[in-house]
C-alpha cells in the first residue's frame, strides 16, 4: 500500500464516487417517498404484478409491496443499483490500471521508489473503497428515508435491509475484482473497457435471461449475479453464508491474481 498514491487516486476519483453515491441515495429516497402512497394500494398493484407473465416479475425482481424493504428490493436493488454499480466497476477499474498504462503515466508511478505490487494493491484498494462508499451512502440514505418518510407507520426490517446491502457490496467486490484483473492485464484502455464491460454485462444478461424462463434457468449458474438475491434475502428464504463467501473469494482471488500478474508483465511504457 502506498499512502501517497492512495490519497491522490481517491482525490481524483472522489468526485465520480460521490456522484454515483448521491445519485443512488437520491433514488432510494425517492423510492421511500413513493412507498407510502403505493402501500395503500398494495393489493391492486400486487394483482397487477400477478397478471404479468411470471418470468417478467421474477426477472426484474418485483417482489410485492407488502413491506418497504420488499418494495425497495424489487424497485431498486433488483435492477437500477445493479446497473449503476456495474458501470462504476467497469469504468473505475479501467481507469485505475489500463488507462495509466495506455497513457504512459504509469511510468511515473513506477519510476518512483515503489513496487508494482504496491501500486496494484493501492489501486485495488481505491476501487474497493469507492464501492464501499457508494454502498455505505446508499445504506445510510435508506435509513434516513425510513425515518423521514415512513416513521413507525410501516414495516421496515433493518437487519434484512443491511444484509441486502452487504450482498450488493460483495457482488460488486467480485465484479470489480474481475474487471480489475482485466484492467491490470491490458495495455489498451478501450480494450480493457470493452472486455470487462462484456464480462460484466454478459453475466448480468445471463442472469436476467435465466430468470425469465424456467427452461433456461441453468444459464444463471454461469453468472455470478445469480449469487445476489435481494428478493430472497428480504423474503427470508436465502442462504447467505455460501454466496457471500463465494463472492468474497472471487473478489479476493481476482485482485490477488491481478497483482501477481501485473508484477510479472512487460509494460510498454
Partner 1 sequence: MLTVQNLTKTFSNGKGIFDVSFSVKEGEVFGFLGPNGAGKSTTIRHIMGFMKPDKGYVKVNGLDTWKEQGKFQSYVGYLPGEISFFDGMTGKTFLDFMADMQGMKDLSKRARLIDRLQFDVHTPIRKMSKGMKQKVGIVATFMHDPNVIILDEPTSGLDPLMQKVFIEIVLEEKARGKTFLMSSHNFPEIERTCDRAAIIKDGVIITVKDVHELQSMQRKLFEVTFENQAEAKTFLDSGLLIESHEGDRVRVSVQGNYDKFVEETAKYKIRNIDIFTQNLEDIFMNYYERKETMK
Which residues contact partner 1 by CB under 8 A?
Answer: 2, 4-5, 8, 12, 100, 103-105, 107-116, 118, 264, 266-269
Nearer to partner 1, 104 or 151 (CB): 104
Residue 230 zone, left/alpha/beta (φ > 0; ψ -120 to 50; rest): alpha
Nearer to partner 1, 12 or 147 (CB): 12
Nearer to partner 1, 247 or 259 (CB): 259
Nearer to partner 1, 2 or 165 (CB): 2
- Radius of gyration over every alpha carbon of the chain, rounded to an integer in angstroms: 20
For the bound state, the minimum distance from the C-beta of residue 265 to partner 1, rounded and expressed in Å, comes to 8
For the bound state, the minimum distance from the C-beta of residue 261 to partner 1, rounded and expressed in Å, comes to 12
Burial of 51 (0-12, 13-18, 19+ CB in 10 A): exposed
- For the chain, give the number of residues: 269
For the bound state, the minimum distance from the C-beta of residue 2 to partner 1, rounded and expressed in Å, comes to 8
Burial of 103 (0-12, 13-18, 19+ CB in 10 A): exposed
For the bound state, the minimum distance from the C-beta of residue 123 to partner 1, rounded and expressed in Å, comes to 12
Q: Rounded to 10 degrees, what is the CA torsion of 262, 266, 268, 269? A: 60
Nearer to partner 1, 45 or 110 (CB): 110
Residue 266 zone, left/alpha/beta (φ > 0; ψ -120 to 50; rest): beta
For the bound state, the minimum distance from the C-beta of residue 89 to partner 1, rounded and expressed in Å, comes to 19
Amino acid at each position: 500500500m502506498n499512502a501517497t498514491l492512495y490519497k491522490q487516486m481517491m482525490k481524483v476519483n472522489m468526485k465520480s464516487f460521490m456522484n454515483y453515491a448521491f445519485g443512488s441515495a437520491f433514488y432510494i429516497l425517492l423510492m421511500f417517498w413513493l412507498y407510502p402512497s403505493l402501500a395503500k394500494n398494495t393489493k391492486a398493484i400486487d394483482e397487477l404484478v400477478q397478471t404479468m407473465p411470471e418470468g417478467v416479475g421474477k426477472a426484474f425482481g418485483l417482489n410485492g409491496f407488502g413491506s418497504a424493504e420488499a418494495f425497495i428490493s424489487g424497485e431498486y436493488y433488483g435492477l437500477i443499483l445493479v446497473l449503476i454499480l456495474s458501470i462504476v466497476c467497469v469504468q473505475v477499474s479501467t481507469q485505475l490500471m489500463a488507462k495509466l498504462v495506455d497513457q504512459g503515466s504509469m511510468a511515473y508511478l513506477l519510476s518512483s521508489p515503489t513496487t508494482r505490487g504496491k501500486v496494484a494493491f493501492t489501486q485495488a484498494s481505491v476501487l474497493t473503497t469507492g464501492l464501499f462508499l457508494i454502498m455505505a451512502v446508499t445504506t445510510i440514505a435508506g435509513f434516513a428515508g425510513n425515518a423521514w418518510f415512513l416513521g413507525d407507520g410501516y414495516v421496515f426490517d433493518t437487519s434484512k435491509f443491511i444484509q441486502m446491502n452487504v450482498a450488493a457490496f460483495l457482488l460488486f467486490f467480485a465484479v470489480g475484482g474481475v474487471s480489475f484483473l482485466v484492467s491490470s492485464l491490458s495495455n489498451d484502455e478501450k480494450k480493457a473497457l470493452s472486455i470487462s464491460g462484456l464480462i460484466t454485462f454478459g453475466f448480468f444478461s445471463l442472469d436476467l435471461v435465466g430468470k425469465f424462463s424456467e427452461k433456461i434457468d441453468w444459464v444463471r449458474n454461469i453468472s455470478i449475479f445469480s449469487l445476489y438475491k435481494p428478493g430472497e434475502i428480504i423474503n427470508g428464504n436465502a442462504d447467505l453464508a455460501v454466496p457471500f463467501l463465494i463472492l468474497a473469494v472471487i473478489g479476493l482471488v481476482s485482485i490477488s491474481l491481478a497483482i501477481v500478474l501485473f508484477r510479472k508483465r512487460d509494460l510498454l511504457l
